[in-house]
């Protein structure tokens, strides 16, 4: 049972690939909280067909769009505006992909074409989502845009390779566009820096399982789940966070502020 936090609001949710996706949970929550939504994903990701199930559950239209393609994004916003009879109130960017990670390339041996692809898909697409919306005036006054990040933007995690750079760019775009869109239309822009989460994008990263357990032991509250993340996303779409903008918000059970935990100390020197 929802609280009606998004009653009357309309939005676009990208990145729901399957039921593990953070965006999948966010779409269900948005619906539960009273929003009307449009789902979008890359045409290639639709082949699995899973998104159709979600669309049915959310009573939502699906518009295919490659997030790196400005023309696709224009079509997405135009369709959204036609469907809703006006602009949207929120946009979720939940998109990330690194061919270098997929192919197991080390940071010192990156394929540069793939590196560009990682940055384009995982970071520049966030800029495109907002620049296209601004040009079409597709986001309403006091709207909210959220992107998803990871703490490798600030601190080095060896296995995260070029995605760390992509996330640093993503967070910077969040700040820069947050300023611009705030001035122009009171639209706020934030990134959420999420705990490691068992999704297709997450588990594709080398050493994910070990790292997931490590983060779990380092965080006083444990890892934040995809569902917890969805709840946080909804709060950022709601009117209760109207003055929060240009922030990178850690949603990680306390991981980012913990030096070392008793559990991890005990693993290194058991019984001491």
Name the CA dihedral angle for 136, 141, 142, 143, rounded to a multiple of 10 degrees: -30
Is the CB of residue 87 less than 8 Å from the CB of residue 134? no
Could you say whether residue 67 binds ligand NAI (CB under 6 A)?
Answer: yes
Q: Does 173 participate in binding ligand NAI (rule CB under 6 A)?
A: no
Q: Provide CB contacts within 8 A for 258, sequence distance 6+.
A: 218, 219, 220
Among 148, 164, 187, 230, interactor with ligand NAI by CB under 6 A: 148
Nearest approach in angstroms of CB 25 to ligand NAI is: 9
Of 100-108, 192-200, 213-221, 260-268, the window that binds ligand NAI (rule: CB under 6 A) is 192-200
For residue 159, the minimal CB distance to ligand NAI (Å) is: 11
End-to-end CA gap in the chain: 47
* Interface stretch with ligand NAI, choices 17-25, 53-61, 75-83, 177-185 (CB under 6 A): 17-25
Torsion angle of C-alpha atoms 269, 156, 246, 124, degrees rounded to 10: -150
Q: Rounded to an integer, what distance in angstroms lies between the CA atom of residue 101 and that of residue 117?
A: 12
CA gap 204, 113 in Å, rounded: 20
Considering only 10-18, 130-138, 178-186, 236-244, which stretch makes contact with ligand NAI by CB under 6 A? 10-18
| Residues 117-146 contacting ligand NAI, CB under 6 A | 121
Residue 199 in the binding site for ligand NAI (CB under 6 A): yes
Rule CB under 6 A: is residue 41 a binding residue for ligand NAI? yes
Q: How many CB atoms lie within 10 A of CB 148?
A: 26
For position 68 contacting ligand NAI by CB under 6 A, the verdict is yes
| Cα 194 from chain centre | 9
Shortest separation between residue 266's beta carbon and ligand NAI, angstroms = 25
Q: 170 Cβ partners below 8 Å, 6+ apart?
A: 122, 123, 126, 147, 149, 153, 191
Nearer residue to ligand NAI within complex by CB, 30 or 42: 42
Subset of residues 89 to 118 that bind ligand NAI, contact rule: CB under 6 A: 94-97
* Cα–Cα distance for residue pair 141/136, rounded to 1 Å: 13
Q: Toward ligand NAI, which CB reaches closer, 256 or 261?
A: 256
Smallest distance, ligand NAI to C-beta of residue 125, A: 6
For residue 7, the minimal CB distance to ligand NAI (Å) is: 26
CB 153 within 8 A of CB 167: yes
Site for ligand NAI in 200-259 (CB under 6 A): 200-202
Give 7-54 as a 3 state SS string.
CCCEEEEECCCCCCCHHHHHHHHHHHCCCEEEEEECHHHHHHCHHHHH
150 binds ligand NAI (CB under 6 A): yes
Q: How many residues bind ligand NAI (CB under 6 A)?
A: 27
CA separation for the pair 170, 123 (Å, rounded): 4
Could you say whether residue 45 binds ligand NAI (CB under 6 A)?
yes
List of residues contacting ligand NAI (CB under 6 A): 14-15, 17, 21-23, 41-42, 45, 66-68, 94-97, 121, 148-150, 194, 196-197, 199-202
């Amino acid at each position: 049972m929802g609280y009606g936090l998004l009653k009357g609001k309309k939005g676009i949710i990208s990145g729901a690939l399957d039921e593990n996706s953070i965006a999948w949970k966010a779409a269900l929550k948005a619906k539960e909280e009273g929003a009307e939504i449009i789902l979008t994903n890359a045409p290639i990701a639709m082949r699995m067909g899973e998104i159709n199930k979600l669309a049915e559950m959310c009573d939502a239209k699906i518009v295919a769009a490659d997030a790196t393609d400005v023309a696709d994004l224009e079509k997405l916003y135009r369709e959204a505006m036609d469907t809703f009879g006006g602009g949207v109130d929120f946009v979720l960017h939940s998109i990330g992909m690194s061919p270098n990670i997929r192919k197991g390339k080390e940071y010192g041996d990156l394929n540069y074409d793939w590196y560009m692809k990682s940055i384009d898909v995982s970071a520049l697409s966030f800029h495109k989502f907002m620049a296209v919306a601004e040009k079409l005036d597709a986001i309403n006054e006091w709207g909210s845009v959220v992107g998803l990040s990871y703490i490798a933007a600030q601190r080095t995690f060896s296995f995260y390779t070029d995605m760390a750079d992509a996330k640093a760019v993503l967070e910077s775009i969040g700040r820069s566009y947050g300023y611009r869109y705030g001035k122009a239309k009171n639209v706020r822009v934030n990134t959420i820096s999420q705990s490691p989460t068992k999704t297709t994008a997450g588990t594709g990263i080398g050493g994910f399982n070990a790292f997931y357990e490590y983060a779990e032991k380092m965080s006083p509250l444990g890892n934040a789940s995809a569902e917890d993340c969805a709840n946080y996303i909804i709060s950022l779409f709601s009117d209760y966070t109207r003055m929060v903008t240009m922030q990178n918000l850690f949603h990680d059970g306390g991981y980012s502020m913990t030096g070392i935990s008793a559990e991890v100390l005990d693993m290194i020197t058991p019984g001491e």
